Amino acid sequence: MNVKNSLSESEVLKAIFERRSIRSFTNSPVSKELVMKILEAGSWAPSGLNNQPWRFAIVWDSELKEKLSKLTRYSRIIEEAAVAVAVFLDHDASYDYIKDCQAIGACLQNMLLAIHDLGLGGVWIGEILKNKDKVRALLGLDDKLELMAVLAVGYPSRRDQKSARKSLDELIVFEQ
């Protein structure tokens, strides 16, 4: 069966509501196969003109991961994670900066939902963007690539995270 098309709507909604940011991980390694599935889920996000402006850098190596972790105040999270995935915008593929950033947001959310669905945990690290050029240099990547976020991924050491959302009353600004 095609994994992409096999989820019923209720499973998708369950994942949307139950996913939480995971910031502490066990020592268990994550297989390359699972990471590829996460990237594949990201790559099926919508994008303007289907331009697919996202690019991925996968950091498994613990020394490199440690260097990457030093570029954010959330270093412990990246150090603990089995793998870090940096997501970039490729300016060569870009046609509209805001729309491309929105597409990459959709890509990141697809990845987080896939991480959750696969029994893994992850968190979107945005704080590292203050050092986006240093991240690109550390990975030896071309300057046409702009860092959008790093996802820390691993097996969760706990699953009791709580979060809250504003009520819809606070969010709906117009209805007729």
- Residues of this chain that bind ligand FMN (CB under 6 A): 20-21, 23, 74, 123-127, 161, 163
Say which residue the tokens 């209805």 belong to.
Answer: 175
Nearer to ligand FMN, 26 or 31 (CB): 26
DSSP calls for the chain: --GGG---HHHHHHHHHH------B-S----HHHHHHHHHHHHTS--GGG---EEEEEE--HHHHHHHHTTSTTHHHHHHSSEEEEEEEETTT-S-HHHHHHHHHHHHHHHHHHHHHTT-EEEEE-GGGGGHHHHHHHTT--TTEEEEEEEEEE-BS----------HHHH-----
Question: CB-wise, 160 or 175, nearer to ligand FMN?
Answer: 160
Residue 45 tokens read as 């996000």
Toward ligand FMN, which CB reaches closer, 1 or 162?
162
Taking CB positions, which residue lies at the least distance from ligand FMN?
Answer: 126
Which residue's CB is nearer to ligand FMN, number 1 or number 171? 171
Q: 85, 59 in Cβ contact below 8 A?
A: yes
Residue type at position 101: C
**Nearest distance from residue 85's CB to ligand FMN, in Å?**
14
Q: Of 55 and 140, which has the nearer Cβ to ligand FMN? A: 55
Compute the least distance from the CB of residue 5 to ligand FMN, in Å: 26
Give the nearest distance from C-beta 20 to ligand FMN in angstroms: 4
Q: How far is the CB of 1 from ligand FMN (least distance, A)?
A: 29
User: Minimum distance between the CB of residue 124 and ligand FMN, rounded to whole angstroms?
Assistant: 4
